[in-house]
Amino acid sequence: MFNLPPPDILLQLSLNGALGGAMYGVAAVGLSLIFGTMRLIFLAQGAMIILAAYFVRALFYGLGIDPFLSLLIVVPVGLGVGWLMYHGLFRKAAAEEDRNVSLLIAVGLMFLVQNLMTVVWGGNTAGVVTSYTATGIELLGVRTSFTRTMGFLIALAGTGLVMLFLRKTIVGKAVRAASEDMDAATLMGISPHRVNAIAFAIGIALAGAAGVAVATTFPFNPFAGFIFSLKALVALALGGIGNVTGALAGGILLGLIEAYVQFFISGGWTNAIAYGVFLAVLMFKPEGLFSRPYKKA
């Protein structure tokens, strides 16, 4: 069919795919948490990532704060914004039986954020150019971009921290319990509003971290977020809905698929194939590709 390219090209391809995919992954981790407790497909996640990217850009050009250093601002702000967002916008809808209500609030939020960004920063493509934007580094014997590598590390660290929180703290365990069975969780004395708000806070904080990664690697515009939300959903399905490490792995896998399809077939088909894989996984392995099923008693 086609000739296999030399191994160093393959490695280059895999590395770039994995590094880029980690960004979908970190967005998917946030979606996974929010979906877990609220059963809400938070379509505004991508818009929040782009908003964070603009924020990082403003901090850099306005105050001279290094984009990676701005993580220290963006992440705490994200936690607060997420918390407020839940209590201000979603708290009432969470109690509503018709879950379209919260889905539509997310859609409304997406419209609002996208267009506010257009009003404030204009609709043109923007970016963050630092002294190290064009810097390359040697990784596994292959040259790759420094900022992409940093983005990957941010994704890894973010997911790792979330995992620690979910596995080691009692509040984190409560979030996991609520994702599995909200009724049973409330019988333990767990407040749905509290876990929902925590899921939102972490989800938006992760959007903030992803925003740093996006701002330093890609040019972006106010409407670039939606495709990010879709990609994050694909990553989520690949990793298994409700599985946090799976979401990151799903993102990396999606990045690899995209890189290979782009190289071997054509850039025009990447989305179709990515969504095709998405549909196939939803239908044939809805628990995700990475879950180890335990024997049922």
Partner 1 sequence: MSNAFKWIAIVAVAALALLPFVPGAVDAYYFSFLFFVFLYAIMAQSWNLVAGYGGQISLGSHAFFGLGAYTTAILWTGNYLWGSLYDTHPGIYYFDPVTMALGGVVAALAAAIIGLPLLSKLRGDYFALGTLGFGEIVKVLFVNGGDFTGSAFGIVAPAGMFDTLRPHYWVALGLMVATALAIGALMRSRYGLAMIAVRDDEMAASANGIDVLKVKVAAFAGSAFIAGVAGSLYTFYIFHVGPDSVFDLDWMLLPLMMTVVGGTGTLLGPILGALVMYAVFDLARIVVPDYHPVISGLTIILAMLFLPKGLMRSFAGKARLA
Partner 2 sequence: MANRLLEVSDLQVAYGDVGALWGVSLHVDPGTIVAIVGANGAGKTTLLRTVSGLLKPKSGDIRLAGQSLVGKAPQEIASMGIAHVPEGRGLFRQMTVLENLELGAFQPKARPRTRELLDRAYALFPRLKERVHQKAGSLSGGEQQMLAIARATMSEPSLLILDEPSLGLSPLVVQQMFSLIQTLHGQGVTILLVEQNIHQALKVADYAFVLKTGSLAMQGTGAELIADPEIQKAYMGALE
Binding stretches for partner 1 (CB under 8 A): 35, 39, 41, 89, 92-93, 96, 98, 100-102, 104-105, 107-116, 118-119, 226, 230, 233-234, 237, 241, 268-269, 271-272, 275-276, 278-279, 282-284, 286
For residue 282, the partner it binds in partner 2, partner 1, none, with Cβ less than 5 to 8 A by kind, is partner 1
Smallest separation (angstroms) from partner 2 to the CB of 174: 6
Joined tokens for residue 280: 């196939």
Stretch that binds partner 2, among 40-48, 49-57, 98-106, 173-181 (CB under 8 A): 173-181
**How near is the Cβ of 272 to partner 1 at its closest, in Å?**
4
Question: Judged by CB, which is closer to partner 2: 112, or 184?
Answer: 184
177 binds partner 2 (CB under 8 A): yes
Burial letters 267-280, b for 16+ CB under 10 A, else e: eeebeeebeebbee
Angle between helix 100-121 and helix 45-63 axes, rounded to 10 deg: 30
Element (H or E) spanning 174, and its range?
A: helix 170-180
Q: 180-199: which residues touch partner 2 (CB under 8 A)?
A: 180-181, 183-192
96-135 binders of partner 2 (CB under 8 A): none
Give the residue with the Cβ less far from partner 2, 50 or 247. 247
Paired residues of 220 in beta bridges = 126
Place of tokens 């934007």: 133
Q: Are 66 and 60 in contact (CB under 8 A)?
A: yes
Does residue 166 contact residue 244 with C-beta atoms inside 8 Å?
A: yes
Of partner 2, partner 1, none, which one does residue 295 interact with (CB within 5 to 8 Å by kind)?
partner 2
**Is residue 214 within 8 Å of residue 23, measured between CB atoms?**
yes
DSSP 204: H
Q: 33 φ, ψ to 5°? A: -65, -45
Using CB distances below 5 to 8 A depending on partner kind, what does residue 138 bind out of partner 2, partner 1, none?
none
Check residue 1 for interaction with partner 2 (CB under 8 A): no
Nearer to partner 2, 268 or 296 (CB): 296
Largest CA distance in the chain: 61
Look at the chain and count its residues: 297
Report residue 1 as tokens.
């069919």
Shortest reach from residue 104's CB to partner 1, in Å: 5
Binding-site ranges for partner 2 (CB under 8 A): 170, 173-174, 176-177, 180-181, 183-192, 294-297
